[in-house]
Amino acid sequence: MEFPTRSSPYLPVSNDVSRLMVRVMLALIPGALVLSWFFGWGIIFNLLITTSTALLAEAAVLQLRGKPVRPALLDGSAALTGLLLGLSLPPLAPWWIPVIGALFAIVVAKQLYGGLGYNPFNPAMIGFVVLIISFPLQMTLWSPPTGIGQEGPGFTETLQLVFSGKPPDGETLDSITMATPLDESKTQSGLNLTWDEILSDPRFGHYGGYGWEWVNLAFLLGGLWLWKQRAIQWHIPAGMLGGLFVISLMFYFADADSYGSPLFHLFSGATMIGAFFIATDPVSAATTPRGRLYYGAGIGILVYIIRTWGGYPDGIAFAVLLMNMAAPTIDYYTKPRVFGQREEQDD
Amino acid sequence: MATLLEKPATFHGGLHLSAEKAQSLTGPLKPALIPRRLYVPLSQNIGEPAEAVVKTGNRVLRGQLIARSLGYISAPVHAPTSGVISDIGDYPVPHPSGLSATCIVIDSDGEDRVADSGLKMENVFQSDPADIRQRVRDAGIVGLGGAGFPTAVKLNPGPDHVVDLLVINGAECEPYISCDEALMCCRPNDIIEGIRIMRHALHAKQVVIGIEDNMPNAIDCLQKELTRLDEKEIRITPVPARYPAGGEKQLIYALTGEEVPSQGLPIDIGVVCHNVGTAAAIARAINNGEPLISRIVTVTGAGIHQPCNLDVRIGTPIASLVEQCGGYTDDAARLLLGGPMMGFALRNDSVPVIKTSNCILAANTKELPDPPPASPCIRCAQCTDVCPASLLPQQLYWYAFARDMEKIQDYNLFDCIECGCCAQVCPSHIPLVQYYRFAKTEIWDMEREREKSDLARRRHEARLERLEREKRALEERRARARKSLDKKPKVGNADAKKSEIAAALARVKAKKTESSDVAPRNTDNLTPEQRVKIDEVEQRRSSSKPDGA
């Protein structure tokens, strides 16, 4: 009797890239739901547009490169990039904003570098940064969160806004959008208001901004589930949240009037989705256990710096990309001590 | 210095794998039938293969030496049963390469008559350790855990080393394999007796048996035997069942919290580690005079009708064992030698059981399916988390893929124990271990090539030096000749000239006769270049003759 041969190990495998991606997508659901609850249909449109554009772009480029299309589409990585980008765009952005972002993320940031596993930068964040640099105005089109008094546009209004770019009759874009707490706090802080004065505005909610704190809690929940599922390891989120917490605490203690509290920083903007879903993109992150901790901490500190002194309201995308650049170096200097090697042999 | 921990330490990485050992532990340990024809390979251990001392047609008895060991790291081979040597030649052997190697083929006479091996020892605990080692060596005992390192070598720590701890490895961690568990349950007396002999031979201060905690029966049986013997100096420590707890370095770490140095040996931290099967083999050799001619083999998997453990004579073809276990099921699709994590796939069942064969696993595609196609590495680092050697498997993979053999050694490729944990968890289904094996072979090949070219270079340099030396010697001879000429008084008259001519002629003649003595030997089989060179020399020589000649 003849048997086929191959190399060990032989046990059936349960792990799979698409399974991993699907779990990340599932974990995004609570955050995505809360985000759309507070910011309306625009979020859903963004997600639909970015995801379909990402999938189409992935298929088109793979076809051009002469690579098999089906397995790559089924691995879920392109869809996930689309989702992550979609979740970071303002809900009232015109339709071409998510299209350009997704195209750039997939075509340039991912496929031009060789496709899945070969991109040095986080594709979704490249897409985001291209947009925020090129179209700063369109990237501020956030509707006010539901329940803040001023109601955001409904389904048809949003549809009209997104696809024609024209605000509903009798209204201007300015009248239906609102700055996010991070943006607002930066402006106000620049006007020499104290944090207590800034936070007295109802749109700042309890600690992280009205609506935003719930969004962040939802992403935190999804992220913890992801960690329990062993789809991500704790190092990067812990490093990032820890870094952000420590640096914000230091400045808060030094001057609580001029600097936001650690709680504000942890629960506003894209902190939680950044910590659990964006910084943890394995392809572009550091990989050694110690390195992942440093990598996360670097992102946390950079986020604080950009938020506090930089030119953009939130700093997740820039912080992640900057640390992407540092990842190979971090990996090089944080090689774990091999079993049986003495400390002095370690560098 | 290694001391035992109260509570086992947890080594980095590893995997919880479903045990699947129960399949083969259903019945008592049975002796396997001796087949009509046995194929005994000369190489069944790490190190030098043995050298046959019998000839085709010889009659042999069970336990008779049929191949002697060559060198220190080597082990002799004995006849597994009585019969006639029908051939000594190349036959398929269990090796991942699937290649053949020299085997001694014995046609069993069915009588299984035993020879006196002379291994039996009285008063073993009063005897010299060197004597024990010699008998263990003569018995052909090698590590039965799978690697097959000659046991006598490991019983000799050398004068510079003190053995603080003797670790007995009963932590059989591969799924499916249960031969050690069967042995611990059925022959605890052999194991404990063997351990006592080893302890004596090594002057070991402490002894511990490490057993995975999912084998309560084995722990129980050994404990009962220890109680029966009132042996208090041998301890049994259950270690958490986590693959690869049976790896020597991992087991030692679990028991002592100490790491065997990378590229080092357990003895470097005062530990010697032996498998339970090896202990039992030593007891049988020393107490009963049986050389290593049989071992326990697990025959298991869903592809086998009646999985079980068998006491098998070395050289028994796997096909014969499968037959005794009810044959293959209809869906048997894969045949492995060893466990599913570190074993290797066999193309067919014609190969024989050797000293290191612990398990024959015939599986269906549900148990051991074909792997899904590999996709690109996404650097998820799950491999890093499970690596018991704390390596960076994904980095090793990149460098192996890029054939950067220098970088891959910087990343400690040679600390990889090929346990397969990384490949098992890889979501991209990359056959990581295969890449490491490839890289290791490439590096070994490179080293061999370098050694070869070094040798060639040294040979070439030696040749150039020799030629140079010969040339110098020739010149010196010439210079001497010239000098002796110059010393001759210059006399103006014709007589003197005549005598000078005569002397020169005589010298030439003498030289000619002298060279005719030597020439035939030196000028045999000359290459054309050499001939040209010699002609030139001859010409120069004749032109350098004294003026008047």
My answer on whether A48 and A170 are in the same domain is yes
My answer on whether A202 and A269 are in the same domain is yes
Query: What does the pLDDT read at residue A346?
Result: 44
Nearest to B389 among A17, A19, A339 (CB): A339
| Contact at CB, B384 and A13, closer than 8 angstroms | no
Is residue A46 a contact partner of residue A86, using CB atoms and an 8 Å limit? yes
CB contacts, 8 Å: B385 with chain A: 233, 289
B33 φ/ψ sector (left φ>0, alpha ψ -120 to 50, else beta): beta
Q: What is the DSSP letter of A211?
A: T
Whether A344 maps to a domain, the answer reads no
- Reported ipTM: 0.88
A116: nearest Cα among A60, A73, A66, A52:
A73
Is residue B84 a contact partner of residue B66, using CB atoms and an 8 Å limit? no
**Residue at token pair 């979704």:** A124
| Contact at CB, A340 and B415, closer than 8 angstroms | yes
Query: What does the pLDDT read at residue B78?
Result: 96
pLDDT at B4 > cutoff 80? yes
CB contacts, 8 Å: A121 with chain B: none
Q: Chain A: nearest CA to B189, how far in angstroms?
A: 35
My answer on whether A167 and A212 are in the same domain is no
Instruction: Say how far apart CA A141 and CA A162 lie, in whole Å.
Output: 10
Instruction: Say how far apart CA B427 and CA A40 lie, in whole Å.
Output: 36
Q: Which two tokens stand for residue B410?
A: 């910087």
Q: Which helix (H) or strand (E) holds B31?
A: strand B30-31
Task: State the count of interchain CB pairs (< 8 A) between A and B.
Answer: 167
Suggest the residue from A1, A8, A58 to mutate for an interface test with chain B (most B CBs closer than 10 A).
A8
B277: nearest Cα among B418, B177, B427:
B177
Q: Which residue on chain A is closest to B259 by alpha carbon?
A: A340
Task: Give the β-pairing of B294-300 and B359-363.
Answer: parallel
What stretches of B232-303 show up as alpha helix (H) in DSSP? 248-256, 276-288
Q: Chain A: nearest CA to B329, how far in angstroms?
A: 12
User: B406: exposed, middle or buried (C-beta count within 10 Å: 0-12, 13-18, 19+)?
Assistant: exposed
Instruction: Say how far apart CA A67 and CA A64 lie, in whole Å.
Output: 8
Domain that holds residue A255: 198-332
Coarse DSSP helix, strand, coil percentages of chain B, rounded to the nearest 5 percent: 40, 15, 45
My answer on whether A282 and A165 are in the same domain is no
Task: Give the β-pairing of B294-300 and B271-275.
Answer: unpaired
CB contacts, 8 Å: B428 with chain A: 17, 117
Give how many domains chain A has, as a whole number.
Answer: 2
pLDDT at B501 > cutoff 90? no
| Contact at CB, A287 and B394, closer than 8 angstroms | yes
CB contacts, 8 Å: B371 with chain A: 6, 13
Give the Cβ contact number of residue A325 at 10 Å: 11
**pLDDT tens-digit map of B334-355:** 999 999 999 999 999 999 999 9
Query: What does the pLDDT read at residue A343?
Result: 62
Query: What does the pLDDT read at residue B524?
Result: 67
Profile chain A (347 residues) by mean pLDDT over runs of 10 residues.
86 91 96 94 95 97 93 93 96 94 97 94 97 93 78 80 78 78 80 79 77 94 95 95 97 89 92 97 95 97 94 92 97 94 58
Q: Which residues contact B15 (CB under 8 A, 6 or more apart)?
A: B242, B243, B386, B421, B424, B425
Nearest to B378 among A117, A292, A341 (CB): A117
Taking each helix axis from N to C terminus, what angle separates B276-288 and B129-138, rounded to the nearest 10 degrees? Answer: 100
**Residue at token pair 């336990």:** B63
Query: What does the pLDDT read at residue A342?
Result: 76
Nearest to B379 among A233, A287, A341 (CB): A287
| Contact at CB, A1 and B348, closer than 8 angstroms | yes
Q: Chain B: nearest CA to A256, how far in angstroms?
A: 39
Tell me, what amino acid is at A131? L
Q: Which residue on chain B is closest to A328 by alpha carbon?
A: B395
Q: Chain A: nearest CA to B64, how far in angstroms?
A: 33
Whether A15 maps to a domain, the answer reads no
Query: What does the pLDDT read at residue A174?
Result: 75
Q: Which residue on chain A is closest to B331 by alpha carbon?
A: A3
Interface of A with B (CB under 8 A): 1-13, 15-17, 19-20, 71, 75, 77, 115-118, 230, 233, 282-283, 285, 287-289, 292, 331, 335-342, 345
**pLDDT tens-digit map of B170-181:** 999 999 999 999
The sign one gets for the Cα dihedral A325, A327, A331, A333 is positive
∠ CA B413-B416-B420, nearest 5°, is 125
pLDDT at B297 > cutoff 90? yes
| Contact at CB, A17 and B415, closer than 8 angstroms | no
B198: nearest Cα among B255, B258, B116, B283:
B283
CB contacts, 8 Å: B305 with chain A: none
CB contacts, 8 Å: A233 with chain B: 381, 385
CB contacts, 8 Å: B262 with chain A: 338-341, 345
Task: Give the β-pairing of B83-92 and B59-60.
Answer: antiparallel
| Contact at CB, B345 and A12, closer than 8 angstroms | no
Distance from chain centroid for Cα A125: 7
CB contacts, 8 Å: A7 with chain B: 344-345, 431, 433-434, 437
At residue B68, φ and ψ (nearest 5 deg) are -95, 155
My answer on whether A101 and A204 are in the same domain is no
The sign one gets for the Cα dihedral A228, A233, A234, A238 is negative
CB contacts, 8 Å: B425 with chain A: 13, 15
Is residue B203 a contact partner of residue B161, using CB atoms and an 8 Å limit? no
Nearest to B347 among A3, A287, A339 (CB): A3
Q: Strand order of the sheet with strand B206-212?
A: B234-239, B206-212, B165-170, B271-275
Nearest to B381 among A17, A282, A338 (CB): A282
pLDDT at B519 > cutoff 90? no
Is residue A338 a contact partner of residue B262, using CB atoms and an 8 Å limit? yes
CB contacts, 8 Å: B384 with chain A: 287-289, 336
Task: Give the β-pairing of B30-31 and B83-92.
Answer: unpaired
**pLDDT tens-digit map of B190-241:** 999 999 999 999 999 999 999 999 999 999 999 999 999 999 999 999 999 9
pLDDT, greater one: B103 or B497: B103
Whether A159 maps to a domain, the answer reads yes
| Contact at CB, A2 and B11, closer than 8 angstroms | no
Nearest to B390 among A6, A116, A337 (CB): A337
B252-279 per-residue burial string, b: 16 or more CB within 10 A, e: under 16:
bbbbbbbbbbbeebbbebbbbbbbbbbb
| Contact at CB, A4 and B372, closer than 8 angstroms | no
Instruction: Say how far apart CA A335 and CA A116 lie, in whole Å.
Output: 24
- 3-state SS class at B139: coil
Cα Rg of chain B, angstroms: 33
Nearest to A8 among B366, B392, B433 (CB): B433
My answer on whether A240 and A314 are in the same domain is yes
Q: Chain A: nearest CA to B259, how far in angstroms?
A: 5
Query: What does the pLDDT read at residue A168?
Result: 72
Is residue A77 a contact partner of residue A284, using CB atoms and an 8 Å limit? no
**Residue at token pair 């050799």:** B285
Whether A193 maps to a domain, the answer reads no
**pLDDT tens-digit map of B79-105:** 999 999 999 999 999 988 888 999 999
Q: Which residues contact A31 (CB under 8 A, 6 or more apart)?
A: A87, A215, A218, A219, A221, A222, A272, A273
Query: What does the pLDDT read at residue A345?
Result: 45
A264: nearest Cα among A182, A200, A148:
A182
Q: Which helix (H) or strand (E) holds B443?
A: helix B432-487
My answer on whether A128 and A247 are in the same domain is no
Whether A161 maps to a domain, the answer reads yes
Instruction: Say how far apart CA B176 and CA B362 lie, in whole Å.
Output: 10
Please measure the distance between the N-terminal and C-terminal CA atoms of chain B and give it in whole angstroms.
87
My answer on whether A169 and A203 are in the same domain is no
The sign one gets for the Cα dihedral B10, B15, B16, B20 is negative
pLDDT, greater one: B530 or B169: B169
Q: Which residue on chain B is closest to A341 by alpha carbon?
A: B262
| Contact at CB, B368 and A17, closer than 8 angstroms | no
My answer on whether A325 and A214 are in the same domain is yes
Average pLDDT over residues B419-424: 95
At residue B104, φ and ψ (nearest 5 deg) are -100, 120
My answer on whether A150 and A260 are in the same domain is no
Query: What does the pLDDT read at residue B90?
Result: 95
**Residue at token pair 């302890």:** B199
Is residue A31 a contact partner of residue B377, using CB atoms and an 8 Å limit? no
Whether A263 maps to a domain, the answer reads yes
Whether A148 maps to a domain, the answer reads yes
My answer on whether A237 and A312 are in the same domain is yes
B152: nearest Cα among B281, B25, B260:
B281
- Which neighbouring-strand residues pair with B208? B167, B235
Q: What is the DSSP letter of B545?
A: S
Instruction: Say how far apart CA B304 and CA B325 lie, in whole Å.
Output: 7
Report percent pLDDT > 90 for chain B. 77
Whether A190 maps to a domain, the answer reads no
My answer on whether A68 and A162 are in the same domain is yes
Is residue A103 a contact partner of residue A109, using CB atoms and an 8 Å limit? no
Nearest to A10 among B336, B425, B429 (CB): B336
CB contacts, 8 Å: B12 with chain A: 339
**pLDDT tens-digit map of B242-293:** 999 999 999 999 999 999 999 899 999 999 999 999 999 999 999 999 999 9
Q: What is the DSSP letter of A312?
A: S
Give the Cβ contact number of residue A52 at 10 Å: 15
Task: Give the β-pairing of B308-313 and B30-31.
Answer: parallel
Q: Which of B288-297, B351-360, B392-401, B506-515 has the lowest mean pLDDT?
A: B506-515
